[in-house]
A = this chain, B = another copy of it.
Amino acid sequence: MSRLFGAMATLIEVFREHAGKDGDASTLSKSEVKSLLTKEFGAKLDSAKDKGAVDEMFKALDANADGTVDFTEFVTMVAALTVMMQGS
């Protein structure tokens, strides 16, 4: 499997792992977003433990404001973070 394909598969794996924890396995609830942020970015993202910041992040992620974060919204966040990372 190519590196790029592997990276794409990882995005799907990480999303499914957290989305499957409660309720609808195709979307992330707020608590699932918090557990994902803490596990995947905890060390780099102090705000992952700060409730207000998670609420803000969740609102920003939940583009269609339906109270959940679907895969497209998740990948859009990862893409935006990656562009910021590349630029820094």
Q: Chain A: residues with CB nearer than 8 A to chain B?
A: 2-15, 36, 39-41, 44, 71-72, 75-76, 78-79, 81-83, 85-87
Contacts and interface: CB of A to CB of B under 8 A. Distances in A.
Contact of A11 (B40, B72, B82): B82
Chain copies in complex: 2
A2 B71 contact: no
Contacts of A15: 86
Given A71-B83, A79-B76, A86-B71, A3 B12 contact: no
9 nearest A-B pairs in the assembled complex, by CB-CB distance: A7-B7, A7-B10, A4-B40, A79-B79, A2-B40, A8-B82, A75-B79, A12-B86, A4-B14
Contacts of A44: 5
